[in-house]
Amino acid sequence: MQVELWSDVVCPWCYIGRRRLEKALTRVGKRDSVEVILRSYELDPNAPRESSISTSEHLESKYGMTADQVRQAQLRVSAIAAAEGLEYHLERTRPTNTLDAHRLLQLASIRRLRPVVEERFEHAYFTEGASLGDPETLLRLATEAGLSDSDVRRVLAGQAFTLQVRADERDAAALGASGVPFFVFDRKEVISGAQPTEVILRALGAEPKTS
């Protein structure tokens, strides 16, 4: 089976969704028999690289929420993430453009390092409060995850892999995606959103192992 997962590295539900997919694969013993392909999707292609406001302030402005409402919402998401073994510090995050991060993830796909690099980017953003729009930060994170310094610098210096990112996004739209995480199983079944692990298990066509 082939499972494609479209996500953005600054999407809190995407990180949760990927963890749930990994958990489902482990529970049914299919980690080695299912091909997981990670695909690019920008939640906000027009976002600036650097923002003068926090994600909390951005949410207040965008949705007309109070500071307390945003704080409570972020606490709920953080609690859900914690249940999946993830440590979120959403108050540290800032809106950012993720095109360069996705271009490096396309490079990582070619180098067979995408899961490791994607994990490093997400952990850096949600746990460490790193800026994924900053080239120097991306260089540090990508090389820590195993990509070569020269490859990363070459990608960041130009526009390499932009077409591949756009192709992934067009593909997602053609398949009906309006947001992420977006899962597609053998190009037949679709799951939108960070659904419970049990929903993913059913899409995998297997029952969880019992102890």
* pLDDT score of 68: 97
* pLDDT score of 211: 42
The one-letter code for the residue type at 198 is E
What is the chain's alpha carbon radius of gyration, rounded to the nearest angstrom? 17
The pTM is what?
Answer: 0.94
The one-letter code for the residue type at 211 is S
Fold of 2-203: Glutaredoxin (3.40.30)
High-pLDDT (> 70) share of the chain, %: 97
Name the token pair of 178.
């309006």
Please report, for residues 63, 82, 117, 154, the alpha-carbon distance to residue 149 in angstroms, rounded to integers and kept in the order given. Answer: 40, 33, 13, 9
CA distance 128 to 48: 20
Q: Which residues of the chain have pLDDT under 50?
A: 208, 211
The length of the chain in residues reads: 211
CA distance 168 to 96: 20
Listed by start position, the domains of the chain span 2-203
The helix (run of H) or strand (run of E) holding residue 207 is none
* pLDDT score of 86: 98
The helix (run of H) or strand (run of E) holding residue 185 is strand 182-185
